[in-house]
Structures are given as structure tokens and as C-alpha cells.
């Protein structure tokens, strides 16, 4: 398998969503041009992204929606089940446990950790919250593949250090903080705070332009 | 105000986090070099980003941590309070209502909407869930600034269409779907699904390379 960039993987995820949608609409074939238009990239980019994983399309006909969808699902491991350790049993963590989309994508939370003695031992949707010090042992016992970090910003780096020491190589981080990881560990960030700040900036900018009587900046 | 790119705004958000951290550590001055190193960009990029909003730094001394932090907070509207309409009172929506980070950043959820007759009229953390058909009226009455979409993928586009019709210009979308909005409407996506798929791909790739006896791909 060649080295595939994060940007390509993100685009594959997006193509996958379109293919699922097209399939529910009963469309059987799709051209690189149509996929490109939906995702604001060039048809050449679509063909290049897909060619990383072998030949699928037929010149003049395009790609079979069903076949391409299944191939991308396979590449992205979407039919697999991954075992997840959740760190942080606060409001966000609790929501993630019951978040259906999470499970639908094959991410099964099998263990929950916190360092708050008031939470340890209690249950969240059938899972008992364990003390964070037990994480290394439980990760090994349950053969956990990845960890989700849903702790306050101030605790995030120390949690990541514990996860790395426990041998976990994949981390999904919800704390609004750039975290350090050694080479060989992949961390992905779901950055609600940064998205909120971008919206906040646009709100300020659009208010200022309204006051100036200038055109709104919100569509930049 | 000049046109500032989304990428610049995202970097400002990140610099802001570092400055908050440095301030708690008691550091008074910071150089563009130090900020650059923390965020894996060039010092020239940092200076360029900050110069968009006027001159702050002193050659040879760098920037005052406190002053730069406050200036960025002002630019990003972080001291402001924005009124938010939440659409979708499921598990994710309910978590967002009680998500402290959200409120801490000045985003106050003042109305909650759903189309499920079993949910309408019930309360979530003191807020009564209203029927989605009442959204345009309530948005005007409460002078709501932005909307958060936390509904299933299949419903997301129709919700966005309702929001746009109601005159909302800023949307934060949690549904894993590329949504269409007219010019003048800003939509930001919190794409958990896409981050999960990137991790899933890396898990597959690292497993395959383990089977092949090749070096792991997880650090690409």
C-alpha cells in the first residue's frame, strides 16, 4: 500500500458520503466530473485519489456507485469493529457513549475512565467507569485499538501521555488544545472551540460591516 | 477591516490557546519564533497573521503575552455573548446544552428545537423544546445570532434550509454531510465522522503493515 495523505483520506470520506446518498437515490453510475462538482475539486483530483487504490472506473461510463462505495468502505475499514477506550465521563463523554453515529461507524466504546473519585465505580449506559490508573491494564486485557479524549483542556496532555505509555497508537481528541505525541502515534482533533471562534469572528466582522454600511463579510 | 482567510482565523484561535497557557505559566513576553515553533508554522507566518490586525510586537522583545491575548480575544469576539438556537434534542444536542466549554466561549443556547412530537414541550436543562415550525418566529423574538445543527444526516439539509429562510447567517453543523447554503451564509462543520474514518484507515493500514512485516504506516 502506498503512502496516502490525510487530505486524500478526508476526500475519500466525503466521496463515500456522496456515494451512499447517490445509492439511496437509485443512481447506478457516477462520473469523476459529478463527484468533483459535489466536492469542489477537479475531476483529475478525483481520478488521482481513486487511482491510489487501483483501477475502478470505465472510460466514458464512470464508476459503479455501489462498487466504488464498497471499495472505499473497505479502504477506510468501515466494516470493521474497533474497540474504544473513552477517557472523561463528563457531559461530552457521556454523550459520546450514547452517540449512535459513533457505534454505526464501528467504534464501540468498551471502557470508560475518569480520575474523579465521585464518578469511578458508577455506570454510564451499562459501562462501569474505571479509575484512570487502571487504563494500561484494561487496554491490554480488552485489546483496545484507540482512545477518545473528552477531558478538560488542562488535563488533556497528561491523559495523552498515559495513553501513549499504555501503547495506544490512535487518539481522537476533543480538548481544544494542540497536544504533543511521539512519532508513530496518530492524533486527530475534533475542534469545536476553533469552529466556534471562526463563527464568532464572522459575527463580529458582519456586525462591524453593518455598522460601517459596507457589504457584509460573512460570505468571504 | 481587511478580508481575513479562514486559515488565518484558525491560526489566531490556536495562538490564543498558547497565549492563555503562557499567561498561566507567568510568561510575560513571547517571540514570533516561539509561537511559530508551538504551531509548526514559520515565524514570518505568525508576524503576517498578526499584522493583519495592526502592529503589536516590539523588534527584539516580541509580543506582550497579555496584550496579544486580549487583542486576539477582541478580534475573535471572545468577550461577546452570542445567542444560539440548537436544532436537534437527541443525545448530542442534549450534551451540547450542558457542554461548559460552549458557554465559556460565550455561546449561550437560548432555544432548542426538534420535530419529534415526543420531545416537543419537554425540558432539557431548563429549556423547553419547541417545534421546529416555530423557529422563524422565535429566532426573531430572541434576536438569535447563530444556529447549531445536531440532527441525523438525513434531516440536516432540510434543517439548514429552514435556518436560512429564517434569516440566520451563521451555522455550526455536526451532521456528517456536506450541506448547501446560499452566498452570505457561513457554515462550519464539526466532522467527527470524517476524523473517525481517518483513524479507521490508519488502523487498517497499520494492521496490514504488521501482517506484511513492514514498518507501520501510522506515523505518515
Non-local (6+) Cβ contacts of A63 within 8 A are: A29, A30, A31, A32, A35, A50, A56, A57
**Residues of A whose CB is below 8 A from B189:** 195
Long-range contacts formed by B205-209: CB under 8 A, 24+ apart: B205/A1, B205/A4, B206/A169, B208/A1, B209/A1
Instruction: Report the pLDDT averaged over residues B109-127.
Output: 94
The topology under which CATH files domain B6-75 is: Arc Repressor Mutant, subunit A (1.10.10)
| pLDDT score of A134 more than 90 | yes
What pLDDT band is residue A212 in, cutting at 50, 70 and 90? low
Distance of CA B146 to the CA centre of its chain: 12
| pLDDT score of A218 more than 50 | no
Cβ A185–B3 below 8 Å, yes or no?
Answer: no
> What's the confidence (pLDDT) of residue B80?
87
> What's the confidence (pLDDT) of residue B100?
75
> What's the confidence (pLDDT) of residue B217?
39
For residue A122, the distance in angstroms to the closest alpha carbon of chain B comes to 19
| Of residues A65, A86, A80, A81, the one with CA closest to residue A21 | A65
Which of A17-21, A77-81, A188-192, B25-29 has the least mean pLDDT?
Answer: A188-192
Percentage, residues of chain A above pLDDT 70: 92
Instruction: Report the pLDDT averaged over residues B134-148.
Output: 96
> What's the confidence (pLDDT) of residue A39?
85
The topology under which CATH files domain B82-189 is: Rossmann fold (3.40.50)
Select the highest-mean-pLDDT range: A52-61, B32-41, B199-208: B32-41
Instruction: Report the pLDDT averaged over residues A130-144.
Output: 97
Mean per-residue pLDDT of chain A = 86
For residue B143, the distance in angstroms to the closest alpha carbon of chain A comes to 13
> What's the confidence (pLDDT) of residue A40?
84
Percentage, residues of chain B above pLDDT 90: 47
Cβ B76–A13 below 8 Å, yes or no?
Answer: no
Residue of A4, A107, A169 with shortest CB distance to B206: A169
For residue A176, the distance in angstroms to the closest alpha carbon of chain B comes to 8
| For chain A, domain boundaries | 6-75, 82-189, 194-220
Instruction: Report the pLDDT averaged over residues A176-196.
Output: 84
Put simply, whether B92 touches A (Cβ < 8 Å) is yes
> What's the confidence (pLDDT) of residue A216?
38
Q: What is the pTM of this model?
A: 0.73
**Residues of B whose CB is below 8 A from A198:** 6, 9-10, 13, 188
Amino acid at each position: 500500500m502506498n503512502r496516502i495523505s490525510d487530505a486524500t483520506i478526508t476526500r475519500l470520506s466525503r466521496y463515500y458520503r456522496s456515494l451512499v446518498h447517490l445509492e439511496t437515490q437509485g443512481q447506478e453510475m457516477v462520473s469523476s466530473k459529478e463527484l468533483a462538482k459535489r466536492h469542489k475539486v477537479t475531476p483529475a483530483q478525483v481520478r488521482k485519489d481513486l487511482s491510489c487504490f487501483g483501477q475502478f472506473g470505465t472510460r466514458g461510463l464512470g464508476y459503479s456507485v455501489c462498487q466504488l462505495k464498497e471499495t472505499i468502505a473497505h479502504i477506510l475499514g468501515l466494516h470493521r469493529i474497533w474497540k474504544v477506550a473513552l477517557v472523561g465521563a463528563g457531559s461530552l463523554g457521556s454523550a459520546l457513549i450514547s452517540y449512535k453515529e459513533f457505534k454505526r461507524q464501528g467504534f464501540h466504546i468498551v471502557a470508560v475512565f475518569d480520575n474523579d473519585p465521585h464518578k469511578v465505580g458508577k455506570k454510564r449506559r451499562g459501562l462501569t467507569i474505571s479509575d484512570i490508573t487502571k487504563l494500561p491494564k484494561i487496554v491490554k486485557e480488552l485489546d483496545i485499538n484507540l482512545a477518545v479524549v473528552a477531558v478538560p483542556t488542562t488535563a488533556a496532555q497528561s491523559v495523552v501521555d498515559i495513553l501513549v505509555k499504555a501503547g495506544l497508537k490512535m487518539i481522537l481528541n476533543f480538548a481544544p488544545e494542540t497536544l504533543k505525541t511521539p512519532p508513530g502515534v496518530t492524533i486527530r482533533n475534533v475542534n469545536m472551540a476553533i469552529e466556534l471562534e471562526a463563527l464568532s469572528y464572522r459575527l463580529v466582522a458582519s456586525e462591524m460591516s453593518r455598522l460601517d454600511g459596507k457589504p457584509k463579510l460573512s460570505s468571504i
